[in-house]
Amino acid sequence: MDDFLDLCRRAIGAEFVLTEQTELLPYVAEWRQRYSGKALAVLRPASTAEVAALVRLCARHHVPIVPQGGNTGLVLGSVPDQSGKAVVISLKRMNRIRAIDGANNTVTAEAGCLLAQVQHAADVAGRLYPLSLASEGSCTVGGNLSTNAGGTAVLRYGNARDLCLGLEVVTANGEIWHGLRGLRKDNTGYDLRDLFIGAEGTLGIITAAVLKLYPRPKAQITAFAAVATPQAALALLNFAQAEFGPALTGFELISDFCLQLVLKHIPHLAPVFDVSYPYYVLLELSDHESEQHGMQRLEATLGQALEQGQILNAAIAASLSQSESMWDLRENISLAQAAEGKNIKHDISLPVSAIPEFMAATEQLLQQNFPGCRLVCFGHMGDGNLHYNISPPANISDTEFLTQQTAINRVAHDSVHHFGGSISAEHGLGALKRDEIRRYKTELEMRMMQTLKSALDPQNLMNPGKIF
């Protein structure tokens, strides 16, 4: 492999071919530091032409490729396996905003651009790029698209797939597909763009994208509402959507147990209410007229919901700092959960209408089989995506509890499937759920997916061991 690495050095420069173990570590360890793979090298190209040259070398020498953006994934999709045969191609140096077209409401960004960088570029141009994730300061455009990332604004704007108009992709044989089209209508054959979005780097390497922008709202108003049950939260969602339509841009469900974890482990944050309630909803309303107009609409609607008994209490943020404090309670749940100890995570989606029944039925099943387990349930109720995580009972060690992970996954995932849901909403499959998905997808679905994989990557060099 020395000849191969020498050719890589000639292609992109010796300093961008990393082989020392200390240099490799940040690229081979997954986000939560629970798993670390091995790599032949980490390659850091600076242009699409360099990516294509590297892929051609890998194809010629039969070297597997793991494309990587910010490496913030949670399903082992962006790290190599233990064989040490693969190279990681990091897109971090490809971080230019190539163009902003204000009249067309698009931005063209390279795959290594941080999500926060794209958001800022849009803001400077007086526009909004609405994809919003907790990891926006470290995740990249390429990673967002490869996993079809979701986040907190899917209710209004859709997933990463919905925010992408065109792609530039290096194929598995090192050719460059120039698909950077800023068109909202293009009915000229198969939608190749959609093949690569959500494919987790198994079909090719996304190197740039044309992304949708939106007019920046005049105001974004945040509210925190207390509800008695998930069913009441669903009723509030339907009521708010009827009142606000597309102006309702966020609707997050939070259990009281989640909130108490945040207050316990992040003590500088304060609760919104003086007393506890079973569940909470975090709402965000975007208004294109004025902040006063948005506040009046939200106050009137929440007041009506309170009179009708849909909600138990409500508070509307009166300032940016209050809004940020409310969002901090939501965004810090994962951090607080990690501080509490290890847990078993599930990133699931369901028909929105099925969420209350799913939550009741699945908790009953879990308590029957694993008495005392604690549910950390929160997420994007507006689009049906829950982070349904399970912590051990207070009297059982993390290590002992994790020995039951397979059995717990079976209960949770079987219930998701029973209610017509998906075991991966926005994190992808990676290597973590690669085998699990076969239980829930039909043989025909898997065969069609494998046909696409074999056609576009006949040597199986693109992120092997992920999805399949």
Task: Establish how many alpha carbons lie within 13 A of residue 260's alpha carbon, considering only the half-sphere containing its beta carbon.
Answer: 12
In a domain, 320, yes or no: yes
225 shares a domain with 209:
no
113 shares a domain with 196:
yes
Q: Encode pLDDT of 128-164 as tens digits.
A: 999 998 889 999 999 999 999 999 999 999 999 999 9
pLDDT at 35 over 90: no
8 Å CB contact between 113 and 92 = no
Rg of the chain over CA atoms, in angstroms? 23
What pLDDT is attached to residue 454? 97
Residues 376 and 257: their CA atoms lie apart, in Å, by 7
Q: Encode pLDDT of 409-432 as tens digits.
A: 999 999 999 999 999 999 999 998
Give the end-to-end CA distance of the chain in Å, rounded to a whole number: 26
Q: Who has greater pLDDT, 34 or 150?
A: 150
pLDDT at 22 over 90: yes
Residues 107 and 99: their CA atoms lie apart, in Å, by 6
What CATH number does residue 274 fall under?
A: 3.30.70.2190
108 shares a domain with 187:
yes
Per the structure, the count of domains in the chain is 4
What pLDDT is attached to residue 243? 95
85 shares a domain with 42:
yes
For 185, the token pair is 């209508």
86 shares a domain with 181:
no
What pLDDT is attached to residue 240? 97
321 shares a domain with 295:
yes
In a domain, 445, yes or no: no
133 shares a domain with 83:
no
- Domain boundary residue among 334, 365, 396? 334
283 shares a domain with 363:
no
Long-range contacts formed by 337-342: CB under 8 A, 24+ apart: 337/258, 337/261, 337/376, 337/389, 337/391, 338/32, 339/261, 339/265, 340/261, 340/264, 340/265, 340/391, 341/391, 341/392, 341/398, 342/392, 342/398, 342/399, 342/401, 342/402
Give the β-pairing of 87-90 and 65-68: parallel
Q: Tokens 């912590």: give the residue.
A: 391
Average model confidence (pLDDT) across the chain: 95
In a domain, 118, yes or no: yes
What CATH number does residue 188 fall under?
A: 3.30.465.10
What pLDDT is attached to residue 381? 96
pLDDT at 34 over 80: no
Percent of the chain with pLDDT over 90: 93
In a domain, 192, yes or no: yes
What pLDDT is attached to residue 394? 86
In a domain, 462, yes or no: no
For 304, the token pair is 């009506």
pLDDT at 13 over 90: yes
In a domain, 108, yes or no: yes
The whole-number average pLDDT for the span 220-240 is 97
Residues 186 and 131: their CA atoms lie apart, in Å, by 23
pLDDT at 452 over 90: yes
What pLDDT is attached to residue 32? 76
- Domain boundary residue among 334, 359, 382? 334
8 Å CB contact between 466 and 429 = yes
Range of the domain at 210: 97-215
In a domain, 466, yes or no: no
The whole-number average pLDDT for the span 440-459 is 96
Residues 432 and 445: their CA atoms lie apart, in Å, by 19
Q: Encode pLDDT of 325-379 as tens digits.
A: 999 999 999 999 989 988 899 999 999 999 999 999 999 999 999 999 999 999 9
202 shares a domain with 223:
no
309 shares a domain with 233:
yes
Complete edge-to-edge strand list for the sheet that includes strand 279-287: 313-316, 219-227, 279-287, 248-255, 374-380, 385-391, 347-349
What pLDDT is attached to residue 57? 98
What pLDDT is attached to residue 398? 86
What CATH number does residue 371 fall under?
A: 3.30.70.2740
The whole-number average pLDDT for the span 291-295 is 92
296 shares a domain with 247:
yes
Q: CA-CA distances (angstroms) from residue 383 to 71, 152, 334, 358?
A: 25, 9, 19, 15
Q: CA-CA distances (angstroms) from residue 29 to 426, 434, 435, 461?
A: 21, 19, 21, 20
Residues 423 and 315: their CA atoms lie apart, in Å, by 34
Residues 282 and 378: their CA atoms lie apart, in Å, by 11
Q: Encode pLDDT of 113-123 as tens digits.
A: 999 999 999 99
Q: Report the 10 Å Cβ neighbour count for 78.
A: 29
183 shares a domain with 109:
yes
DSSP letter, residue 221: E
| pLDDT tier for residue 24 given thresholds of 50, 70 and 90 | very high
| pLDDT tier for residue 74 given thresholds of 50, 70 and 90 | confident
pLDDT at 2 over 80: no
In a domain, 455, yes or no: no
- Domain boundary residue among 90, 105, 135? 90
